[in-house]
Amino acid sequence: MKSETATRQGKRLEDTARIRRITWAGLLVNMALAGLKLLTGTLGASQAVIADALHSMSDLATDLLILLGVGFWSAPPDSCHPYGHDRLEALVTMCLGLLLGGTTCYLVYWALTTIGDVRSRHTSLVALWGPVLSIIAKEVLYRVTVTVGRKSGSSAVIANAWHHRSDALSSIPALIAVVCASINPSLEIIDNIGALVIASCILYVSLKIISPALMEITDHSAPESVIRQIRKTAMNVEGVENVHAIRTRRSGPGCLVDLHIIVAPDISVRAGHDISEAVKTALIEKCPGVIDALVHIEPG
């Protein structure tokens, strides 16, 4: 069991290093893109591109949250947190989603209150450079980040990857708004509409991020397919006559399992203990996502 714990901790250290590298890369890219979109949006008089720049700035905040949080949630269990610190990752993920939601509210307010405003300058094509480069860079960053998130099983990193993709997607309506408004100044309301479309995209992503984190914090159980696999795996262990009272709850990248097994009533305490250990080992090795199991023995 000690070697198994050491292996798990070693993998966690590798995952942490990988997460830090990709997050630092994302932070640098976001800094560059936010500055570029703010500059081109201002020079090109495009509200949609400036709104897109604010979205990139919110990405900077999420990168910083992950860099600060990964050191805490990847720490090994201690006397105060015997189950580990994985729930901190869910809290960071919630913060990411709420931050996106706050950005959405600001963009909607800005777009609605400036409809019909007389502009001193009309939108020009110089504003195109920000969205074009953002679409390319953020889609590449999304693909690399989501790969790291899936390999490490990190919901916060996957959420950050979707934050990158939402930035890429939000640049598309900004691009369309710039083209339309620059071709025909009477269509400048499309710039406001583009900002509202961007806000709706961000809101959708924020809800998608918050939902699984909220389920983890509220001890939502694993899917029924996982519970069926847990039951089947436990029943296949020699000496187990039946399984019941299976309970699961999310914990970071995996889930914790509690279950009761029925064994023959006339076996020794040692034999019963060996069966329970065999069940625990089988669950961790054969059921994807199970990181620990508590097995209660009952006589048949």
DSSP string across 176-222? HHHHHHHH-GGGTHHHHHHHHHHHHHHHHHHHHHHHHHHHHHTTPPP
**What superfamily would CATH give domain 224-299?**
Cation efflux protein, cytoplasmic domain (3.30.70.1350)
pLDDT by residue for the chain (300 residues), tens only, comes to: 445 555 556 666 777 888 888 889 888 988 888 888 888 888 877 777 777 787 777 777 778 878 877 777 777 777 777 777 777 777 877 887 887 788 778 778 877 876 766 554 566 677 778 888 888 988 898 999 989 888 887 777 887 888 788 778 777 777 777 777 777 767 767 767 777 877 787 788 788 778 878 877 877 788 888 889 999 999 999 999 999 989 998 876 678 899 999 999 989 999 999 999 999 999 988 887 788 899 999 998
Q: What is the pTM of this model?
A: 0.62
DSSP letters spanning the chain:
-HHHHHHHHHHHHHHHHHHHHHHHHHHHHHHHHHHHHHHHHHHTT-HHHHHHHHHHHHHHHHHHHHHHHHHHHTSPP-SS-TT-STHHHHHHHHHHHHHHHHHHHHHHHHHHHTTTPPPSS---GGGGHHHHHHHHHHHHHHHHHHHHHHHHT-HHHHHHHHHHHHHHHHHHHHHHHHHHHHH-GGGTHHHHHHHHHHHHHHHHHHHHHHHHHHHHHTTPPPPHHHHHHHHHHHHTSTT--EEEEEEEEEETTEEEEEEEEEE-TTS-HHHHHHHHHHHHHHHHHHSTTEEEEEEEEEE-
Q: CA 100 from chain center: how many Å?
A: 12
Residues linked to residue 92 through DSSP beta bridges, in sequence order: none
Distance CA(157)–CA(90), nearest Å, equals 11
Domain ranges in the chain are 2-217, 224-299
**What superfamily would CATH give domain 2-217?**
Cation efflux protein transmembrane domain (1.20.1510.10)
- Within the chain, what is the greatest distance between any pair of CA atoms? 90
Tokens of 171: 């640049």
